[in-house]
Structure 1
Amino acid sequence: MSIAIRQIWIIKLPTIDTKKSATILFNRKFPTVEKRAKLTNGTGYTPVPQASHVLQLLVREISQAYNASQFIPGRDGCDLPIQKPIHKICTDEGILWPVVALEKNGLLLCCLPLVEGTTQISDLTSIPVINIPSISLGMSLLETLAEYLKVTKQELPNRLLELPAFINEAAPFGLVRDGSVDNICARLLNKPCTLSKSHKLPAWRSASYKGKTSLQVCVLEHISASQCAQETWQDSSQIYGEVTCKAEFEGCGPDITLSISNQGDGLNIPQDMLIVHPCVQRADWHEHEETDGSVRNAPRRIRFSPPLEHFTLCHYTAKRLLELPIFGVYHMKPEQTKASITVQLKLSDQIKNNFELCELHIPFYTRPQISNFEGAPTQGSLSLSNNKKELIWNIGQKFNSKDQQVSLAASVTFSSSDQGLPAPSVQDAFCRGNNSYAKLNFRIQEFTHSGCCIDPKSIQVSPSTKFKLSLTREYSSADYKIWNSGGEALTTKAVDTV
């Protein structure tokens, strides 16, 4: 089975508050792979249209920035199987499948892997995509390109000029061979290898490091929650996170051992699942049952040989959350040209009362633009977003009252005519009438809700050497919604007990 990529597209997506159209920043076709696709598929071969023709097809079928209020049966039908991030693009000459897509940093990155032996299959969605390695490699290539293009607007044009040479190293002739940005850039710069002949570098570490030795480990924890102050609705939440690492050591690369525990500040919630990076050589984890029936996790000891670049050592989840970090009650009463709002927020005693960011966003995407607003928050300030579709309450760096509660009473007035901005998501399109939500954005440094942390005394490096150690933690909200208590909510209904 051939593992290759037929074509790559990189599209610049318009922002929500502008009416600009999407544009293609980069397009790369691999003629040798395209010729192979034509020979192997025969009459079932579907040619790839010109970039200008395929642009709207890709944006309409894949991008979340496209107008979600327009119903397209071939895209939005509830009977369609979901294979995201794999999509099927219908053209005038046939079907392009599988189109792998990644939307990141305002860019839509797409590629079309070569898949052989599917011309006789009528239902392409019935194919187990996990058995097609070119799809996995295509996704890996898109992640690599997204990381390479994660630069400022001023630097992006230069990166696009260097992109052909970068792809020639990452996927020569469409054959994906390397997914490390640092390795590819090192080969492009012709960095010399300073190791002696007795030492050998692994294939994934094609360049050596020379400089000050250091180890940076960061625990990034996120929470998604959906709550509604109704007896018929059940609040839901999920805590998940990752441990990222950047190891700079001279030589062929050390073996590093460290312990991930949940004995820090927070609720000490055991991790339910841990997915490690391929560089991990060993990971130990044992659950201990206490006499009172509770479960305590012993620290998980991980040994790994790190690559040169900044990488994610592991992902974890913690599902045994009993109390939300911030409990909220949101009530919105709509009128024809106005809406009255009341919000109450209470911070849990288990959460560190020191925020780097704490804001509440109240969107009105299905209503006309806000022409005027009045509000009386117990603390913080109230403002309007640039597109005049969101009310933003900046709560501040901490909850100042003794009971750690804050509240807001506000009213908004809408203009007489809408400016035509589309709802950015399906959830925002659902928000009509009493259906609405408030989204809480917060970030706390040097804290994790689950208590996940790295024990500095457990870190061992072989061969032994002195190094600068940096350990950081961060806890932030990912998708934290409080639904209107007077409307319907997109969450899980509570099951009635018999």
Structure 2
Amino acid sequence: MSLRAVWIVSAKSDLPIYSRYFPSVEARSRSTLGNLFVKIPPEREFVKELLIEVGLREGGTFVESRDNCDKQVVYPAFHLKTEHGILWPVVIMECKGFILCALPHDDNNPKIIPPICQVSLSHMPSIALALEVLNGLAECILNSKNSSAEGNLPMTEVIQYVNVSLPFGRPISCDISVCGQLGSVVKGKAKVPTWNPMPHKGKSQVVLHIKEEVRSTQFNHLEMKDSVDVFGTVMCRAEVEGNAPEISLGLIQSAGGNGSGLVVNPGVCNVENLSQTSFRLRFYPSNSQPLCHYSLPLITDPPIFGAFSIKMNDNVATINLQLQLRNNVKNLFQQLEVQVPFPGFVIQSVRPNYSQGSVKIQSRNIVTWNVGSKFPSKTLTATINAAVKLNRIQKPCNNASLDTVTSVDTRSTTFSDNSSGNMNSAYALVLFKIADFTYSGTKIDPQSIVVSTAAKVRCSVSSEFVSKVYKLWNSEGEVPVPASIFAEDLKVLLKQS
């Protein structure tokens, strides 16, 4: 929601004392309303019709729709009749002898223009928004030192309030104290960042967070090599005195990092290579974007090795799963669970045998094994064997109703290799999260953080290691290998099709 225009009118003048139009909102209103669009009249005509509507000036002739004593008034919103049509809603507020006016445009429901006597203001939030803007404008007039005498308008404060609080006609803040800080002129050569134009007051602190993620697909098959991708993001949130603080820090990657996978934000001014795995970043912080991204292509060993197999016998699936934690991984998990989905089936029962944790059925077709918070310290291994009894979802016929679609065939069924009961493409999904740990050893030394505008800064560094897409493929099934085709064979196939 936006405002098409704002006016300040006096009953003693034929022209507004102050007016501000927003052409971008006016163009948007013209395109969305179409034939319902009513053009804003010239200022002299607008003031005349406004003063007549509020009863501060005589209309000269009796107009029943305007001067009838049975007319319903929905203050503070008025219908203003012009030669081009009816402007609605013109929101009005009185302050110290002035009439403050605003004409909103509702971006959500732009074509809802109710009749004059059938208005429900509760269904028009644009009126409340315009009233809030006028309330801030009235507060700006009342609190100004230049408006001690009635009829004296503090033009400087009004212009500053409208410029800051209504950029392009869209209100962002109607608090005059906030607008005063946003519109204050910064002394010296310091530049004001767009992400934080208000100078910070209070204790200075810099919060850094490293989020490292791993993608892995493991086949446990000689014909297919496992894949591991480790990548991370460094976030920085700075609340430091000064308008544009410059921060520098040291980033260390102890495993598989050579700087080739480091991508920095445009706000980073300089990247200095201290060594093959150590860098120093100098930047202006931005709360809306990450500081940098990195990837570690030299890491090829997964943090958790898994061996998963599943076989189908009639309507019973037999699961065998083993997880092995690597020695260099922190053995303390905030989350550690394995999900085995059975799309196209409904799980009737599960008979599990597991070394630790608990097993439950989720969403009727997913077996979830909650491994726990730690692996056994001696073996770092956890296993589960389970027999899952399944019922295949009955496929609906063409004439089947919606009730038939969700029905389940509870009879025992034998699945062939080419049916939906084929477990060749089955997999187990591993979900885990470790706090205060990175698999690559990427870290930030809090002692290396230097802030240009503050001597004492509280610095905190945290990290987490999470699984992104971590799949264990069925080792008893077919290995998913991408098909390769020669160009000549492809041309023949295209001609045949």
Aligned pair 1:305/2:293, yes or no?
Answer: no
**Alignment partner, residue 18 of structure 1:** none
Residue 366 of structure 1: how far off its partner (Å): 2.6
Question: Matches of 1:325 and 1:230 in 2, distance apart?
Answer: 18
Q: Report 1:98-497 matches (<5 A).
A: 190-193=178-181, 196-198=186-188, 199-263=190-254, 267=255, 269-285=257-273, 297-307=276-286, 309=287, 311-367=289-345, 369-385=346-362, 387-415=363-391, 417=393, 420=406, 432-490=422-480
CA contact (8 A) 2:216 2:471 kept: yes
Question: Matches of 1:365 and 1:196 in 2, distance apart?
Answer: 61
Question: Matches of 1:227 and 1:160 in 2, distance apart?
Answer: 56
TM-score where L is the length of structure 1: 0.56
Question: Matches of 2:438 and 2:218 in 1, distance apart?
Answer: 21
Residue 351 of structure 1: how far off its partner (Å): 1.0
CA contact (8 A) 1:380 1:395 kept: yes
Amino acid at match of 1:280: V
CA contact (8 A) 1:254 1:462 kept: yes
Question: Matches of 1:160 and 1:220 in 2, distance apart?
Answer: 41
Relative contact order, higher structure (CA 8 A, sep 6+): 1
Question: Matches of 1:170 and 1:490 in 2, distance apart?
Answer: 57
Amino acid at match of 2:361: L
When structure 1 is superposed on structure 2, of 434-443 and 396-405 the one drifting more is: 396-405
Q: 1:323 to 1:211 in 2, by over 3 A?
A: same
Question: Matches of 1:388 and 1:161 in 2, distance apart?
Answer: 49
> Mind listing any 5+ residue stretches in structure 1 that lack a counterpart?
1-28, 38-158, 175-182, 288-296, 422-428
Q: CA RMSD in A?
A: 3.9
Residue 476 of structure 1: how far off its partner (Å): 0.7
Q: Deviations along 1:330-357, whole A, 9 cap, x unmatched?
A: 0011234221100011111121111111
Q: 1:414 to 1:454 in 2, by over 3 A?
A: same
Q: 1:332 to 1:280 in 2, by over 3 A?
A: same
Q: 1:464 to 1:207 in 2, by over 3 A?
A: closer
Q: Deviations along 1:383-407, whole A, 9 cap, x unmatched?
A: 111x111111111111115121111
Q: 1:374 to 1:461 in 2, by over 3 A?
A: same
Q: Deviations along 1:400-433, whole A, 9 cap, x unmatched?
A: 1512111110011123545759xxxxxxx99943
TM-score where L is the length of structure 2: 0.56
Question: Matches of 2:305 and 2:167 in 1, distance apart?
Answer: 49
Question: Matches of 1:224 and 1:188 in 2, distance apart?
Answer: 50
Amino acid at match of 2:284: S
**Alignment partner, residue 126 of structure 1:** none
Question: Matches of 1:235 and 1:161 in 2, distance apart?
Answer: 61
Q: Secondary structure at the match of 1:311?
A: coil
Q: 1:242 to 1:392 in 2, by over 3 A?
A: same
> Mind listing any 5+ residue stretches in structure 2 that lack a counterpart?
1-23, 33-124, 133-163, 395-404, 408-418, 485-497
Q: Deviations along 1:416-467, whole A, 9 cap, x unmatched?
A: 545759xxxxxxx999432110000011111111111001221111023212
Question: Matches of 2:306 and 2:469 in 1, distance apart?
Answer: 14
Overall identity of the aligned pairs, in %: 29
CA contact (8 A) 1:269 1:451 kept: no
Q: 1:161 to 1:407 in 2, by over 3 A?
A: farther
Q: 1:342 to 1:31 in 2, by over 3 A?
A: farther
Length, aligned pairs only? 313
CA contact (8 A) 1:227 1:481 kept: yes
CA contact (8 A) 1:345 1:406 kept: yes
Amino acid at match of 1:412: V
